[in-house]
Amino acid sequence: MRSQKQYTLRSKEVHDRATGVILGNVGIKDHGYKCLAATMVTILFYAASRVTSLYDACQRLVNAPTDEAMRQALSATLPPINKLERQLNNALGVDLPKALRKRPQLLAIDLTLIPYHGRPCVSENEIYRGEPKSGTSHFHAYATAYVIRKGHRFTVAMTYVLAGDPMKEVIQRLLQNASRHGVKPRILLMDRGFHSVEVIRYLQRARYPFIMPTAKRGRKPAKPNAQSIWRFFNSKRSGWGRHTWTGPRGEKATAQICVACGNFRGKWGRQHRRTFVYSYWNIPSHSCEWFRETYRSRFAIETTYRQMNEARINTCTRDPLLRLLFVGMALILRNVWVWLHLTCLAKYVGRKLVLHLERLRFRRMLLWLQHHAESLFGIEDFTVAQLPMPP
């Protein structure tokens, strides 16, 4: 049982735990007597905690190696991108509790796009095209799988998405990485961007139950009773249905439809009544409200991406290998934060485990990593100023 005695958690213990997860799984190795593996990981944590670049981190830390030495060391020691992705997924599975492996879980899958304003490094497929955001339509894309269970939000898998990757293969890679950690999906909660004929057919062949919003595609028909997907969006009452989609090559996929209507006064402006249309398959009968509330739990993955961006190293490099490393390290740091709350900071009230997130916020943990790096290398807290010449 968990001991009820008080325990003091310090920044060095948090740093040692995060460093052990990285060095034990990711292939960062020593490169010379200055760029030791532990030294490089500490500097990477410092840059991540300040959401700054490697150049700025090496400039601020007095006894740290130069940024060029860090880049050369990372380029020389990091494995190819496919192997690095496997290593990062292994690191994501280190802190997963055993309870996630005992029975199937709700698994959310989403795609995050990081804006990119440069040219590809090697191949045009490195750049993912999407709707304009932050002044560009070019992105580096990463897909993640996320477990939803009693307030414990662990990222269990990630993958780098190229421009030509079919969404079916992206989902397949994520599920394979999650299964290596023993995590099996009970229901897949996916974004509207994954709604396609090939994805539905793959999930049905693999026997994976799923829920995802139905995409509005095609021209709106003139007759409201036409046999198209638009008839569900025009519905004024909650209900059920079935629809068959036809792919570009003539293949067909059929899934059940749930229409959830409701009044949401004060939430979406003047239009108080909203209609939500979900496609699902192989799920026992529930109320329409259950489908809407179950899918709402998927939106916690947006909080995961927000916290990931709070710990993602800022860079302008074109190398997708380093960009993948920085995104993976941010997700690993967040998993370490969740693990600390689960094992050290939570408290049992009867048989229920109650989380106390106010004891250690994610931003505060990053601040601890920053202060630990400054105590090791020293901080340059001055700059040279020149007096103006007299007239």
pLDDT in tens, 154-173: 999 999 999 989 999 999 99
Together in a domain, 183 and 250: yes
Whether 18 and 162 map to the same domain: the answer is: no
What is the distance between the alpha carbons of residues 17 and 340, in angstroms, rounded to a whole number? 9
Of 266 and 322, the one with more pLDDT: 322
Block residue for tokens 């997130």: 357
Cα 140 from chain centroid? Answer: 13
Instruction: At 68, list the tokens.
Output: 């060029």
Least confident of 101-115, 231-245, 270-284, 368-382: 270-284
List the one residue out of 215, 203, 1, 182 whose CA is nearest residue 99: 182
Parent domain of 38: 11-84+319-337+344-377
In a domain, 386, yes or no: no
**Type of residue found at 321:** L
Q: Are residues 267 and 177 in the same domain?
A: yes
The pTM assigned to this predicted structure is 0.91
My answer on whether 364 and 219 are in the same domain is no
The amino acid that residue 176 corresponds to is Q
Per-residue pLDDT tens over the stretch 190-231: 999 899 999 999 999 999 999 999 988 777 777 666 678 888
**Total domain count, the chain:** 2
Whether residue 223 sits in one domain with residue 108 = yes
Compute the mean pLDDT over every residue in the chain, rounded to the nearest whole number.
89
Q: Does 170 reside within a domain? A: yes
- Are 219 and 325 members of one domain? no
- Are residue 360 and residue 238 in the same domain, yes or no? no
Same-domain pairing of 267 and 229: yes
Burial pattern 43-60, b for ≥16 Cβ within 10 A else e, equals bbbbbbbbebbbbebbeb
384 domain residue, yes or no: no
Is residue 189 within 8 A of residue 300, CB to CB? The reply is: no
4 has a pLDDT exceeding 60: no
Both 127 and 245 in one domain: the answer is yes
Which phi and psi (to 5°) does residue 225 adopt? Answer: -95, 10
Residue 187 lies in a domain: yes
Residues 102 and 34 in one domain: no
Strands 105-115, 185-190: pairing kind: parallel
Residue 143 has pLDDT above 90, yes or no: yes
Residues 112 and 180 in one domain: yes
Decide if 312 is inside a domain.
no
Residue 4 lies in a domain: no
- Phi/psi of residue 133, each to 5°? -155, 135
Domain contains 29:
yes
Q: How confident is the model at residue 270 (pLDDT cuts 50, 70, 90)?
A: low
Strands 152-161 and 210-213, bridge-based pairing? unpaired
pLDDT for the residue 139: 95
The answer for residues whose C-beta is within 8 angstroms of residue 172's C-beta and 6 or more apart is: 202
Looking at 134-191, which runs of residues are DSSP E strands? 136-149, 152-161, 185-190
**How far out from the chain centre does Cα 132 lie?**
20
In this structure, is residue 241 part of a structural domain? yes
